[in-house]
Structure 1
Amino acid sequence: MNGGPSGFNNAPVTRSFIVASAIFTVFSGIQGGAHKLGFSYQDVYQKVNFLKILESAFAFSSTPELMFGLYMLYYFRVFERQIGSNKYSVFILFSSMTSIICEVLALALLKDTSLKFTPGPYGLIFASFIPFYLDIPVSTKIRVFGVQFSDKSFIYLAGLQLLLSSWKRSIFPGICGFVAGSLYRMNFFYIRKAKFPEFISSFFARLSWPSIGRMPATSTRNAMGSMPSYAVRPVEPNYPAPVPSTPEPLEASIATLVSMGFDRSSARQALIQARNDVNVATNILLESQSL
């Protein structure tokens, strides 16, 4: 099992979030302030530092947590491909904010001044385990020493490692993430219907790295800015206009939909209908399942 085609194809928001998380972690580590991040009772109820709260929402406190966290964020990009970048942006904001509120309430109930929750995007990561458990099918099963594992087991083990990485400091943020994912799943305040405007996904898409090996488009203008003579040709009146043909779906697009749990035949037909637009094809398949 994987998250679909490799790379961040159709997942620009996930890519930007991972880059931001890595930058915040490295920056706080260089400054030697990683141990100062995280929520404590004093930070929330005595001296509120919003910059520290923002940094704690992105930066991990150690290299192992960073590796496991970024790996799971990278895998969970499948959900952005499934629901689209605009809705996935709402999911990130909702799960992060809900998790922070839950952590604040937990600190108020515990009133343990020595407890400081570990920093990092735990809310988003563990909120993603709810749709991962409910929506992602098992594709392969293996047996090791008489114990049966599935391809999803490795994601669960990575999540368990992150959840228990700092014991109480990491368990509570993980539980708050589960709460946030459950509320989103239950469509709390009809949150699953909300989405950001189209320019949000367009903005993140423009942040993509240039494609390696891609040749730049050759300009059809000469140095003076005028069209070259060979670029303008008379239209042949006797030739009929070409009839646009239905494009054959890309194998990578089919693999993306198959990784979401759709069968190959339905995925191919939806892509033909959507003219190779994965997001549109996903909506077509989801609507057909709801009928």
Structure 2
Amino acid sequence: MNAGPSGFHNAPVTRTFVIASALLSVLLSHSLRLGLTYEDIFKNFRFWRLIVSTLAFSSTPELMFGLYLLYYFRVFERQIGSNKHSVFIVFSMIVSLLLEILALTYLLADPSLNMLVSGPYGLIFASFVPFYFDIPVSSRFTIFSLQLSDKSFIYLAGLQLLFSSWKWSLIPGICGVLAGSLYRLNAFGIHRVKFPDAFMSSLSRFPRLSGNSMQTSSSGNNIGSIPSYPGHQVETLQRNNIFPTGVADQEPSDSAVATLVSMGFDSASARLALVQARNDVNIATNILLEAQAH
């Protein structure tokens, strides 16, 4: 399943997080015993392990599946913008971490559950909540009489990661789903929270380890954000009469907009193109691609 253009196009926050997680996993997995334990938090007061346990994977298979899912879920940053996505990341990781600590506290009677697996399980499985509700199915197919969709491969990768360490990874995964559900329900009014522009601009100074250019979002962009051709593309649509002004109003469907945004187009241009295309995603895609060519 494709999450849009290859690389981290329009997804600088995800790019920074993936690079940080990969580096920490490689550097620490062979020198430290990674994992979250009750003793480290409440007896030895090793609070630095809280940060490590939410970023670094403890094994190579978990690292591979985890980075793949993080890379795919960059689609959400393209949909809601880097600022909102940063809030989602911080909220999901903090809430899931608190739930994991709570789980460790109540599972002390079982010595086999005194450690939880390390890695950003909270963020990954929190992302499955908007993935389930907001990402439309674009194709369906049958394998051995089993009905599948293009989303099935993402679910299979998630299941592999969820049960990679059995009960030690199952609990962090469940905590992540709960955190994602709380975000979707707008717990504590989280949808209104935004980070300062200075914080977002600091991401642009993260070392560039790939050929993709780093871009930051504007503080007022709430829907489609960090576009590489936002207003420019809309103006191109209108200037070349690809999307003339005065087109009859026809509100495009949210699923169609989400499909175009997942392909890398910004929300504003996607809506304009869908109105011109009478909500036909294929025609709207051609309109946007033609606008890019001008």
- TM-score tier, shorter chain, comes to 0.7 to 0.9
Question: Given residue 105 of structure 2, which amino acid in structure 1 is its aligned partner?
Answer: A
Q: Could you list the per-position Cα deviations for residues 48-80 of structure 1 after superposition, in whole angstroms to 9, with x for gaps in the alignment? A: 211111111111011010000000000000111
Partners of 1:142 and 1:50 in 2: CA distance: 48
2:12 corresponds to 1:4:
no
Separation in 1 of the partners of 2:76 and 2:270? 16
Q: Is the 8 A contact 2:11 2:77 kept in 1?
A: yes
Amino acid at match of 2:260: V
Tell me the distance in 2 between the aligned counterparts of 1:271 and 1:194: 30
Note if contact 1:3-1:259 (Cα within 8 Å) is conserved in structure 2. no
Distance 2:210 2:28 in 1: 30
Q: What does residue 154 of structure 2 align with?
A: 155
User: What RMSD over aligned residues (CA atoms) do the two structures have, in Å?
Assistant: 3.0
AA at the equivalent of 2:235: T
Matched, 1:46 2:43: yes
> Hey, what does 1:21 align to over in structure 2?
21
Q: Compared with structure 1, are the counterparts of its residues 153 and 213 closer, same or farther at alpha carbon in structure 2 (3 Å cutoff)?
A: closer
| Among 63, 78, 81, the residue aligned to 1:81 | 78
User: Map of 1:91-110 to 2, 5 A cutoff?
Assistant: 91-110=88-107
Distance 1:212 1:118 in 2: 33
Normalization by structure 1: what TM-score? 0.73
Per-residue displacement from partner, 1:121-152 (whole Å, max 9, x unpaired)?
A: 00000000000000000000110011111000
The percentage of aligned residue pairs carrying the same residue is 56
Matched residue SS, 2:236: coil
Specify the alignment match of 2:251 in structure 1.
Answer: none
Q: Is the 8 A contact 1:5 1:255 kept in 2?
A: no
Using a 3 Å threshold, how does the CA distance of structure 1 residues 213 and 42 change in structure 2: closer, same or farther? closer
Q: Relative to structure 1, is the Cα distance of residues 269 and 213 closer, same or farther in structure 2, using a 3 angstrom cutoff?
A: closer
Amino acid at match of 2:149: S
> Could you list the per-position Cα deviations for residues 185-211 of structure 1 after superposition, in whole angstroms to 9, with x for gaps in the alignment?
000011012111223332223336388
Q: Give the corresponding residue for 1:246.
A: 235
In structure 2, relative to structure 1, the CA distance for the partners of 1:246 and 1:16 (3 Å cut) is same
Computing the radius of gyration from Cα coordinates, the structure with the larger value is 1
| Deviation per residue, 1:229-276 (Å, 9 max, x gap) | xxxxxxxxxxxxxxxx92249xxxx998515499x997161699xxxx
* Residue 267 (str. 1) matches residue 256 (str. 2): no
In structure 2, list runs of 5 or more residues that go unmatched: 214-233, 239-255, 276-294
Separation in structure 2 between the aligned mates of residue 271 and residue 146 of structure 1, nearest angstrom: 35
Matches for 1:63-142 after TM superposition, within 5 Å: 63-111=60-108, 112-115=110-113, 116-142=115-141
TM-score (structure 2 length as normaliser)? 0.73
Task: Tell me, yes or no, if the aligned pair for 1:130 and 1:178 is still in contact at 8 Å.
Answer: yes
- 5+ residue gaps, structure 1, are 215-244, 273-291
Q: How far apart, CA to CA, are the structure 2 residues paired with 1:109 and 1:51?
A: 22
Q: For the Cα contact (< 8 Å) 1:61–1:119, is it kept in 2?
A: yes
Q: Secondary structure of 1:128's partner?
A: helix
Aligned residues: 235
Pair 210,113 (structure 1): closer, same or farther in 2 beyond 3 Å: closer
Matched residue SS, 1:139: coil
Letter in 1 for 2:78: R
Q: 1:198 to 1:47 in 2, by over 3 A?
A: same
Of 257, 260, 263, the match for 1:258: 260
Letter in 2 for 1:88: H
Call closer, same or farther: CA 1:149–1:108 in 2, change over 3 Å.
same
